[in-house]
Structure 1
């Protein structure tokens, strides 16, 4: 005769610790269906876990002692059942996750600072471009003043398409090192 008793370690999860509204705000429109499916599975799992008893069920061993004729068997089973303790797995990754979160926060702050510096530089460049005469209205002299490195120099003519690779005497960087 087999007797099965559902057993659960001490309940550690009281409610979902995920901020679903903040999570949903970051999900792109094209992935809303997958997000909703994930949230549904997560909620179903949480409901199943919360439906389990927090402790072992109480057993009336006197009923078993009255019905089972083998001496000491129920007492032995009762002693083992009461001594049964299911250890909750030790948390070995929370510290690592916290460290990773701190490192990610530092990286994010560095990225934000670098991005703000790039944005400031690009705004300065934008002011310069907005203050410039449009290309279709520029004369060749104005183009040479604005872009001296891109303008054709009549004292040093180049061959079309005016890139360094097609000019006479060009030596590739790989060739210069050898």
Structure 2
């Protein structure tokens, strides 16, 4: 017996958009298995076929056997499993939903901050157009000041006059 199912409860298009590219094969296998199961269920009639008990009473020679089978068949109740987990899953989802929203808000702030930094970087002059004076104006702490503190090329600390190696032993 199967219920008349008119529409799948799964939105396959929406679900496919959420599947990462590396898991598309597993997703397609799952979808095919689900559709195969649905086809098998829909192939069955919605109700059990009617049994002609009078015909069986004429054929079966044991008295009372057909009546006994008929009463047992009519009293047969196939238990449907009780849904114990939907409420628990909904409760977990409700607790996760607040975490997801706070995470999304934090990520949105990070995105806006990063976008501001990208806008700042994009507003800078191109590397081949910038001069030492422009760099000194934009970044006074990082710029090399030749007048206040003369420096020799390659402008690293170990190439300057009066450099002392910090790893060398101190002389007494």
Any gaps of 5 or more consecutive residues in structure 1? Answer: 1-7, 161-166, 170-178
2:4 touches 2:46 (CA, 8 Å); kept in 1? no
Classify 1:168/1:52 alpha carbon distance in 2 versus 1 (closer, same or farther; 3 Å).
farther
Query: Partners of 1:12 and 1:93 in 2: how far apart?
Result: 25
More displaced stretch, 90-99 vs 48-57:
48-57
1:14 touches 1:50 (CA, 8 Å); kept in 2? no
* Number of corresponding residues: 152
2:135 touches 2:143 (CA, 8 Å); kept in 1? no
Query: Partners of 1:46 and 1:64 in 2: how far apart?
Result: 34
More displaced stretch, 38-47 vs 127-136:
127-136
Q: CA RMSD in A?
A: 3.7
Query: Partners of 2:73 and 2:5 in 1: how far apart?
Result: 25
Instruction: Give CA-to-partner distance per residue, 1:21-63, whole Å, 9 cap, x none.
Output: 2123334556545433332221110111122233332211122
The structure with the larger Rg is: 2
Partner of 2:152 in structure 1? none
SS of equivalent residue, structure 1 residue 86: coil
More displaced stretch, 106-115 vs 26-35:
26-35
Alignment of 1:145-164 (within 5 A): 146=139, 148=141
Partner of 1:72 in structure 2? 64
TM-score normalised over the length of structure 1: 0.63
Query: Partners of 1:17 and 1:107 in 2: how far apart?
Result: 27
Query: Partners of 2:64 and 2:84 in 1: how far apart?
Result: 41
Bigger relative contact order (CA 8 A; separation at least 6): 1
Partner of 2:101 in structure 1? 109
Partner of residue 17 from structure 1, selected from 5, 9, 15: 9
SS of equivalent residue, structure 2 residue 63: coil
Q: State the Cα distance separating 1:118 from its structure 2 match.
A: 0.8
Partner of residue 36 from structure 1, selected from 25, 28, 31: 28
Alignment of 1:1-178 (within 5 A): 8=1, 11=3, 14-28=6-20, 31-132=23-124, 137=130, 139=132, 142=135, 146=139, 148=141
Instruction: Give CA-to-partner distance per residue, 1:129-159, whole Å, 9 cap, x none.
Output: 33445567463994697384x789x8xx977
Instruction: Give CA-to-partner distance per residue, 1:78-99, whole Å, 9 cap, x none.
Output: 1111100112111111112323
Classify 1:133/1:104 alpha carbon distance in 2 versus 1 (closer, same or farther; 3 Å).
same
